[in-house]
C-alpha cells in the first residue's frame, strides 16, 4: 500500500508542532550596542563662534587705539580691558576652528521591570577653551572693578583666587560622571566660590567706592550690579547645558556668546567711557610702569649715605 506523506503530516501536526502561548514577559533588549547620541555644535553654533570672534577682535582694536590717546601712566584700565577682549578673541578663534574642544562620554542607565538594565551613551561636546578664557579674563574683570572701587591688595587677591577656583571647579563639573555626586559636588563648590566673589564686590567694594565720592559709588553700584547679574546667568546656563543637557550645544554657544559680549566688550566700553568723566577713578602709575628701568629711576650705590 502506498502511504501519502501529506496525509500523515495532516494527522500528526497537532502533536508535532506546539501552538504559541501568549505571555506577558517583555522582549529581551537587543545585545547589539546602541549607536551613541552625539551632542555637538552645528551650523548655527559654529557661525556664532565666528561672529563673536570678529566682535572681540574689533573691540580689542578699539580699546587698544583708545589707550594711545591717554598717557602711559593712566592706561591701566585700558590695558586690562584690552587684554580681556584679546584673550576672548583667541578663545573664540580656537573654538570656531574646532580646537579647544573635547567630548564628555556620559553613560545613562535605564532600569526595566522584567529585563536587565540597559545603558545609553551620550557624547556631549565640551569647549574647554571657554574655561581657559574665563580663567584669564574674569580675574582681569575683577581687577578692573577692584581698582574702580579702590579695594586693598588683600581683598583683591582673595576675590581673584575665589574666582579662579570657581572656573576650575566648573570645568571639572563639565567633565564629571553621570549619576554620581561628583558632578554636582564640583558645581556646588563653584557656586560657593562665586558667593565669595560677590561678597568682596558688594560689601568691601561698595564701601571703598563710597569712600571715594558719591559719583564713584553710583557708578560702581551700576556697573558692579550689571556684572553680578551677567555673571549669575553663567551658572544657570551651565545647569541647563553641561549639567542637565536640556539645552543643545548650539543653544549653549549662543547663550554664552550673548553673556560674553555683555561681560567683556559692553562692560569695557561702559567702564572706559565713564572712567574718563570721573577723575576720582584714576589710577596713575609712575616708576617702572610709566618710565621703565631708566637711569634716572635706578637705585645707585651710595645714595643712602650721601657718597
Distance between CA atoms of residues 241 and 252, nearest Å: 6
Query: Domain limits at 214?
Result: 34-280
Residue 291 has pLDDT above 90, yes or no: no
For residue 53 the three cell numbers come to 570672534
- Measured CA to CA, the distance from residue 282 to residue 112 in angstroms comes to 66
Instruction: Count how many domains the chain has.
Output: 1
Cβ–Cβ < 8 Å for 214, 139: no
Residue 303 pLDDT exceeds 50: no
Residue 185, C-beta contacts closer than 8 angstroms, at least 6 positions apart = 173, 176
| pTM to 2 decimal places | 0.81
Q: Return the exposure string of 271-306: e unless at least 16 CB atoms fall within 10 Å of the residue's CB, then b.
A: bbebbbeeeebeeeeeeeeeeeeeeeeeeeeeeeee
In a domain, 22, yes or no: no
For residues 151 and 155, give the distance between their C-alpha atoms in angstroms, rounded to a whole number. Answer: 6
Longest CA span, the chain = 143
Has residue 199 been placed in a domain? yes
The rounded mean pLDDT for the chain is: 84
Residue 235: which pLDDT band, with cuts at 50, 70 and 90?
very high
pLDDT at 21 over 60: no
Q: How confident is the model at residue 13 (pLDDT cuts 50, 70, 90)?
A: low
CATH number of the domain residue 90 falls in = 1.20.1070.10
Q: Within a 10 A sphere around the Cβ of 32, how many other Cβ atoms?
A: 6
In a domain, 13, yes or no: no
Q: Is residue 291 part of a domain?
A: no
In a domain, 172, yes or no: yes
pLDDT digits (tens, 9 = 90+) for 111-155: 666 666 667 788 889 999 999 999 999 999 999 999 999 889 999
Q: Evaluate if residue 293 carries a pLDDT over 80.
A: no
Percent residues over pLDDT 70 in the chain: 78
Q: What is the DSSP letter of 161?
A: H
Of 101, 79, 19, 54, the closest CA to residue 257 belongs to 54
Q: What was the pLDDT predicted at 1?
A: 53
Tell me if 221 is assigned to some domain. Answer: yes
Say if residue 5's pLDDT is above 60: no
Cα 271 to Cα 235: distance, rounded to the nearest angstrom: 24
Amino acid at each position: 500500500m502506498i502511504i501519502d506523506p501529506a496525509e500523515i503530516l495532516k494527522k500528526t501536526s497537532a502533536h508535532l508542532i506546539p501552538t504559541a502561548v501568549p505571555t506577558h514577559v517583555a522582549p529581551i533588549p537587543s545585545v547589539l550596542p546602541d549607536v551613541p547620541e552625539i551632542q555637538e555644535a552645528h551650523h548655527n553654533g559654529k557661525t556664532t563662534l565666528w561672529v563673536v570672534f570678529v566682535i572681540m577682535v574689533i573691540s580689542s582694536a578699539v580699546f587698544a587705539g583708545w589707550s594711545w590717546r591717554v598717557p602711559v601712566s593712566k592706561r591701566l584700565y585700558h590695558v586690562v580691558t584690552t587684554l580681556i577682549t584679546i584673550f576672548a578673541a583667541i578663545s573664540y578663534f580656537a573654538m570656531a576652528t574646532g580646537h579647544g574642544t573635547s567630548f564628555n562620554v556620559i553613560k545613562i542607565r535605564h532600569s526595566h521591570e522584567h529585563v536587565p538594565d540597559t545603558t545609553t551613551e551620550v557624547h556631549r561636546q565640551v569647549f574647554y577653551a571657554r574655561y581657559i578664557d574665563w580663567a584669564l579674563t574674569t580675574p582681569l574683570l575683577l581687577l578692573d572693578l577692584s581698582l574702580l572701587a579702590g579695594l586693598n591688595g588683600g581683598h583683591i587677591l582673595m576675590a581673584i583666587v575665589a574666582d579662579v577656583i570657581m572656573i576650575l571647579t566648573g570645568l571639572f563639573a563639565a567633565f564629571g560622571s553621570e549619576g554620581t555626586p561628583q558632578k554636582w559636588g564640583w558645581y556646588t563648590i563653584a557656586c560657593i566660590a562665586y558667593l565669595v566673589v560677590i561678597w568682596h564686590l558688594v560689601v568691601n567694594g561698595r564701601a571703598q567706592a563710597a569712600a571715594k565720592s558719591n559719583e564713584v559709588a553710583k557708578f560702581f553700584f551700576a556697573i558692579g550690579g550689571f556684572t553680578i547679574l551677567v555673571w549669575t546667568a553663567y551658572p544657570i546656563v551651565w545647569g541647563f547645558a553641561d549639567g542637565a543637557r536640556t539645552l543643545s550645544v548650539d543653544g549653549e554657544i549662543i547663550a554664552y556668546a550673548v553673556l560674553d559680549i555683555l561681560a567683556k566688550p559692553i562692560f569695557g566700553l561702559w567702564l572706559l567711557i565713564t572712567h574718563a568723566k570721573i577723575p576720582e577713578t584714576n589710577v596713575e602709575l609712575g616708576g617702572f610702569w610709566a618710565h621703565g628701568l631708566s637711569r634716572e629711576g635706578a637705585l645707585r650705590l651710595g645714595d643712602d649715605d650721601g657718597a
